[in-house]
Amino acid sequence: MIVVMRSSAGQKEIDGVVNRLEREGFKIHLSKGVETTIIGAVGDETRLSTAVAVMPGVEKVLPILKPYKQASREFKNEDTIIDINGVIIGGRELQIMAGPCAVESRDQILEIACRVKEGGAKILRAGAFKPRTSPYSFQGLGEEGLKLLAEAREKTGLLVITEVMDGESVELVAEYADILQIGARNMQNFPLLKTIAKCEKPVLLKRGPAATFEEWIMAAEYIINGGNNQVILCERGIRTFETYTRNTLDLSAVPVIKMLTHLPVIIDPSHGTGRWELVEAMSLGAIACGADGLMVEVHCNPSEAMSDGPQSLTPENFNHLITKLRGIAAVVDRNL
Ligand code: PEP
Ligand code: MN
């Protein structure tokens, strides 16, 4: 529920309501405006909403009608801003996560890390555990891949984001990664969501290939409700009747997510299209419509890539993309 305090309410009345709600086990978010204070509260409201409505200083109590509560703009109006060692996601600065689909070798990841850093990325992406459609395809280097990612971070100062595919690996991946990625295929793996909620690292939650906005936000709600409110949403394309592109990149996700939630939104135009030639246009569109950053696949030799070569930019094309993005960023009042 949302508790709207009277403009005349003082600190004593606000504390009274907050303490009462906390005593009853509610999760609270306090938004102090110039005129009014609004308290977002999630818990068993059947009994308490009428009692709170008559407490001193309370103007009205409104229900949160959406099924997601803590992820909603009603519960928390201010944007969530995630600060990872000074790299800010969800603020004025755009963040570019770039790198190969998978860690393939030491030389490969160290070289790409240097190239994407030179291009302007602050976060290195690459999978060590790969969710592949075929059991015969390259499955990733596993822990060895995580170690190489840590070495790349050491060498370049880039942050590292990598996918975790199951609850048992969360602790291991969290030892090496700065941001944990939940892949599209795992968006509704509820045990994994509950486990990752206990982890203190930020989580990037990809949209499932057939997930509605509501299902996606509900998956984020699992993570927040479990205790981890550092959630970043990533649109990576959905399944439609179109087969020319690998997926249909749904850029409407950006304004919709911004309207419904307070969470940062990242666009992945690589998996979103499956074709490197389309990545630049969709990236420019993504930033123009308000995304907080991009996740882009980059490979020094896409034709030799062990996975997702056709959608990978070369470092030269990545540099070109960043130059063009700077123009769009300035128009929409963002820094890059
Ligand atoms: C990836 O980012 O490497 C990946 C596997 O993406 P998705 O889960 O969106 O398919
Ligand atoms: Mn990939």
The yes-or-no verdict on residue 45 having pLDDT over 90 is no
Distance between CA atoms of residues 12 and 9, nearest Å: 8
For the Cβ of 184 lying below 6 angstroms from any atom of ligand 1, the answer is yes
pLDDT of residue 35: 86
Ligand number, closest to the Cα atom of 307: 2
pLDDT of residue 256: 98
The yes-or-no verdict on residue 145 having pLDDT over 90 is yes
Ligand number, closest to the Cα atom of 234: 1
Domains of the chain, each with CATH number or no CATH: 2-62 (3.30.70.1140), 82-331 (3.20.20.70)
pLDDT of residue 33: 86
pTM of the complete model beyond 0.85: yes
The yes-or-no verdict on residue 49 having pLDDT over 90 is no
Write down the H helix ranges in the chain: 11-23, 45-53, 106-119, 143-156, 170-176, 190-196, 213-225, 253-260, 269-273, 276-288, 315-331
Distance between CA atoms of residues 94 and 61, nearest Å: 37
> pLDDT (tens digit, 9 = 90+) per residue, 187-226?
999 999 999 999 999 999 999 999 999 999 999 999 999 9
For the Cβ of 274 lying below 6 angstroms from any atom of ligand 1, the answer is no
When pLDDT is averaged across residues 20-39 and rounded to a whole number, the result is 93
Ligand 2 center from residue 177 Cα (angstroms): 17
The yes-or-no verdict on residue 308 having pLDDT over 90 is yes
pLDDT over 70 percentage in the chain: 100
> pLDDT (tens digit, 9 = 90+) per residue, 64-115?
999 999 999 999 999 999 999 999 999 999 999 999 999 999 999 999 999 9
pLDDT of residue 258: 98
> Ligand 1, closest atom to CA 295?
2
- Mean of the per-residue pLDDT values for the chain? 97
pLDDT of residue 108: 98
> Ligand 1, closest atom to CA 207?
9
Distance between CA atoms of residues 261 and 223, nearest Å: 14
